[in-house]
Amino acid sequence: MRPDQFAPEDQKHLLPQPGGDLVYRCLDCGSEHSISELLYTCPSCGEVLLIEDKGFDQLKKLSGAQWRRVFDLRRMLNIPALKGIFRYAELLAPVIPLDSVLYLGEGHTPLVEASDLLKGELGADFCFKNDGQNPSASFKDRGMAVALSYINYLVKHQGAGEILSVCASTGDTSAAAALYASYLAPEVKSAVLLPQGKVTPAQLSQPLGAGARVLEIPGVFDDCMKVVEHLADNYQVALLNSKNAWRILGQESYAYEVAQDLDWDLTGRVILVPIGNAGNISAIMSGFMKLHQLGIIDELPKVIGVQSEHADPVFRYYQENDPGKRVWRPVTVQPSVAQAAMIGNPVSMPRVVELARRYEAQAGGPRVYVVQVSEQEIMDHMILANRHGHVVCTQGGESLAGLLRAQAAGIVSAGEKAICDATAHHLKFVGFQQMYFENTFPPDYGVKPRPELVNRPEEVLALAEQEMPGPGRPLSGEAFAKFVKATALEVAARLGLEKR
Ligand SMILES: N[C@@H](CCOP(=O)(O)O)C(=O)O
């Protein structure tokens, strides 16, 4: 619909107006810094930042019901800038005018209900939110849409010159960063740093295809991240990891979409999200808190972070119940099938600690948990989900495995319903499925296939005394008819088909 087709009283708030009073706020010393330049850490104390809207209370001029109506009506608009996550512009980055919004089709990924059979088998009530259905096939596109829209705004309206964006990545961030940056060529160029051999072939192909400089570094993601942080501290580059607080704003849209798709009713809902660099869980908590503060939702859902036992620093941190006694200790990661989350020193840990504290204060009690799962559980649950109609990556398997652990631990109770985050597209991680089906996992993963979950192609290649077609050697006439009949007979026998 066009804006002029809406009722006059609805037109007033239909199109977001540039506004807000955004500042970087340091999570440690509390100092405030202008957003006129790109900052990643506090110039006063070096801690990570969040972007805060000092004008947020102005949004309370509309009631929760009015905001719900605005966001619901915007669904009907055919304005590209509002088709994606900027539908929630006032909550994300209201300083960015619509003419600078970069929309590549991100957001509004589906909530897919688990089948009754799968729910019954697992004894759990849940759906997946398929964030693999974003343009570069992961949730990172949400964050990039805001970070690159802001860069676009700086270039278009603030006279910023050429920008080189950099990021470290386990595969998804680099794919998203390269894609969004390439849309803004030639003003924006992109370089990505990858831990050599620790990114799947599909993920490696993505930044290459988008024309980014791809630099492979020895070590793991944490090593690449340190190099990128050094670059950002010492050179003219735009850092696109979630250390960049604009990324966090974009990823809050996950929470807004979940709430909207559930008709803004989060009663008895539980959110399961894998933790890697910890930007996503930070964003999700922040997003739900904003909705709650504006009266758009009445209840804050439980948020459960999930980590593999091969990369579990956040889980370990929260093992200590007494907040005063918790000690942050990065870990050395082991090979993990949840490769996107194979991170031992997440840059957003200070955000997690602070936002979880605020979340629970706002909710009036415990609402944030972290559970740990095994590599075996991740693989088993990814495959189990996928053979019940889902398109779930290893991180999605991690979310589902986390749900079952959370149920066993009494964190999720009967009657509660979970939303499991499938963070990326399954096809990025098919190598792990193949290793499972072929039983070729290197021992350090600790994964053995469950026979009932294994699936292998069967060859129907050579039939006795039957001429078969080959590449560049098609059959024709009588020979082709005989081939079709003989092969169909063989297939029917293997499938146990009865003749009509
Ligand atoms: N899993 C990530 C790691 C970097 O995360 P970010 O959200 O801080 O960019 C990836 O895909 O690279």
Percent of residues, the chain, with pLDDT higher than 70? 100
As a whole number of angstroms, the distance between CA 495 and CA 352 comes to: 52
At residue 461, the pLDDT reads 78
At residue 195, the pLDDT reads 97
Query: Is any atom of ligand 1 closer than 6 Å to the C-beta of 170?
Result: yes
Q: What is the pLDDT of residues 66-111, one digit of tens each?
A: 999 999 999 999 999 999 999 999 999 999 999 999 999 999 999 9
C-alpha of residue 170 to centroid of ligand 1, in Å: 6
Comparison of pLDDT for 96 and 467, the residue scoring more:
96
Query: Do 139-249 and 111-135+252-453 have the same topology in CATH?
Result: yes
Query: Is any atom of ligand 1 closer than 6 Å to the C-beta of 279?
Result: yes
Tell me if ipTM is over 0.95. Answer: yes
Q: What is the pLDDT of residues 352-381, one digit of tens each?
A: 999 999 999 999 999 999 999 999 999 999
C-alpha of residue 191 to centroid of ligand 1, in Å: 14
Q: What would the two tokens of residue 108 be? A: 């509004």
Count the Cβ atoms, other than its own, within 10 Å of residue 53: 21
Whose C-alpha lies nearest to ligand 1, atom 4? 169
Q: What is the pLDDT of residues 410-426, one digit of tens each?
A: 999 999 999 999 999 99
Comparison of pLDDT for 494 and 461, the residue scoring more:
494
Query: Is any atom of ligand 1 closer than 6 Å to the C-beta of 190?
Result: no
Query: Is any atom of ligand 1 closer than 6 Å to the C-beta of 206?
Result: no
Q: 3-state SS of 66-87? A: HHHHHHHHHCCCCCHHHHCHHH
Tell me which DSSP letter residue 456 carries.
Answer: -
- Starting from the edge strand earliest in sequence, which strands make up the sheet with 213-217, in order? 213-217, 188-195, 163-168, 238-239
CATH level 3 topology of 139-249: Rossmann fold (3.40.50)
C-alpha of residue 247 to centroid of ligand 1, in Å: 11
Query: Is any atom of ligand 1 closer than 6 Å to the C-beta of 350?
Result: no
**Sorting pLDDT into bands at 50, 70 and 90, what band is 198?**
very high
At residue 466, the pLDDT reads 79
C-alpha of residue 220 to centroid of ligand 1, in Å: 12
Q: Please report, for the chain, the start and end positions of each structural domain, with discontinuous segments joined by +.
A: 111-135+252-453, 139-249, 459-500
As a whole number of angstroms, the distance between CA 330 and CA 348 comes to: 12
Just give the CATH number of 111-135+252-453. Answer: 3.40.50.1100
Q: What is the mean pLDDT of the chain?
A: 97
Going from the C-alpha of 429 to that of each of 40, 132, 138, 396, the distances in angstroms are 30, 11, 12, 11
How much is the average pLDDT of 288-304?
A: 98
Residue 464 pLDDT greater than 90, yes or no? no
Residue in the structure block whose two tokens are 């499991």: 420
As a whole number of angstroms, the distance between CA 412 and CA 402 comes to: 10
222-257: string of b/e by CB count within 10 Å (b at 16+)?
bebbeebbebbeeeebbbbbbbbbbbbbbbbbbbbb
Q: What is the pLDDT of residues 256-271, one digit of tens each?
A: 999 999 999 999 999 9
Residue 465 pLDDT greater than 80, yes or no? no
- In 3D space, the residue among 366, 343, 217, 337 whose CA is nearest the CA of residue 279 turns out to be 343
Residue 142 pLDDT greater than 90, yes or no? yes
